[in-house]
Amino acid sequence: MPPVWAALLIRLTGATLAGLTFGAIFGAVAGLAVAAGALLLMLLAHTVQLARLQRWLKAPAERDIPDAWGAWGNVFVDLYRVLRHEQKARARIEADLEVFSQAAEASPDGLVFLDADDHIAWCNRVAEQHLGLRGERDMGLLVTNLIRLPGFADFLASAQEGETLTYRPQDRKGKVYAIEAIRFGRDRKLLISADVSQVERAETMRRDFVANVSHELRTPLTVISGYVEHMVEDAAPDPAEWKQQMAMVNEQAGRMLRLVDDLLTLSRLEDEAQAPREEEFDVRDLIYEISAEGRRLSGGRHSITCEVVPAFLKGSREELHSAFSNLVSNAVRYTPAGGRIVLHWALRDGKGVFSVEDSGIGIPEEHIPRLTERFYRVDRGRSRESGGTGLGLSIVKHILLRHQASLEIGSVPGSGSTFSAVFPAWRIRPLGEGRS
């Protein structure tokens, strides 16, 4: 198609020629009238097309592009081409944006994009959870009005690379987030929030553990060093007194040894890479061994009996010996003289249940959920007096966990307690069934 100016030139030439021809035949007036009429028609046609263009521009849509003839046809075809190009470019940008927002949504960290004035431009769902934001509602709002955290505004204004601010939401206990602010583009910022609750918990546990171990070791060490100092300074020691003091030193050293042994056992058990041995053994033999040990520990102060069914258990005999004897030793230590202790081995819905029932001092209900924590004791004095390290039930819990078994504790203060280890059915083979 010819360009607009060429089409206009052709039409103007046509109108002039028509005017000249009519002028030559019918006189100058007729010629002028024809030329003027032709120009008027041209003007009308252009005005109509201009009006269509104006109407279309108010709501431009590809499918509504006016269909025109002549030079206007060219204009509209060009318009159509530009529009197509624009639409393709927009579709590409939208697709890229979609991929980008999907990637940002998939991030395990919270992401908040801020504009140059710290208004929220976009945030992902994780950021909504971490920082209590709501994407739709908070879009365009000043972030410092939404994240109410002392020092946050200063942090945002001057945060250096790698610097983080800790956020502990008051309505979600135990949750801790580390917020980082990264500058990018022209004065824009990206806030990244990471859930560090686990790390923080592990760090607190580690600190508590070190403090507990130090405290547990310090007490016997203080006693030992006191006696040793006294013995060194005593110029004329009385052999009887000396012997008594040595006995005390020996007792405290024994306490330290037990503690270190239990700590080593715990650290071995916590090594998940080392799975327990899988051997099948007759639980009755193990229980008889343990009850004999219990009787030795009790020194005849308790009645210790066994009620067992014939069933085999699959697991590490050595570890389970340690777990079961810990429970029996606790029963002996926390049951006053004259009390009764029964060791049960029974089957419940195919599961194997080893339990130690005592008629001892019992445990108030509020302590029960915490008994397996390291160094947790209901009565610190009583535990120490009876040679406890505060690690026994923690060791039991770990051994049972390694055998996919659970620990159930039932107790009535003043009447006694029952500690039960419940083993999954696949670890049990009732006697009479073939070996698997």
Residues found near ligand ADP in the complex (CB under 6 A): 330-331, 334, 358, 360-361, 363, 371, 376-379, 383, 388-394, 417
- Give the residue with the Cβ less far from ligand ADP, 111 or 405: 405
Q: Least separation, in Å, of the C-beta of 412 and ligand ADP?
A: 11
- Residue with tokens 């102060």, as numbered in its chain: 301
Instruction: Please state the closest distance from residue 260 (CB atom) to ligand ADP, in A.
Output: 14
Among 190, 192, 165, residue whose Cα is nearest residue 115: 190
Strands 303-308 and 340-348, bridge-based pairing: parallel
| Residue nearer to ligand ADP on the CB measure, 356 or 428 | 356
Q: Please report how close the Cβ of residue 395 comes to ligand ADP at its closest, in angstroms.
A: 8
- Beta pairing class for 110-114 and 188-195: antiparallel
3-class secondary structure per residue, 208-247: HHHHHHHHHHHHHHHHHHHHHHHHHHCCCCCHHHHHHHHH
Q: Which is nearer to ligand ADP, 287 or 363 (CB)?
A: 363
Minimal distance, residue 371 CB to ligand ADP, in Å: 5
Q: Is 47 or 219 the residue whose CB approaches ligand ADP more closely?
A: 219
In 3D space, the residue among 79, 86, 110, 266 whose CA is nearest the CA of residue 180 turns out to be 110
Whose structure tokens read 């085999």? 312
3-state secondary structure of 356: strand
Between 175 and 384, CB nearer to ligand ADP: 384
Q: Please give the structure tokens belonging to residue 168.
A: 């502990």
CB of 353 to ligand ADP, least distance (A): 17
Maximum Cα–Cα distance for the chain, whole Å? 159
Nearer to ligand ADP among residue 70 and residue 360 (C-beta): 360
The residue with tokens 């819905």 is: 349
Residue 374 CB, nearest approach to ligand ADP (Å): 8
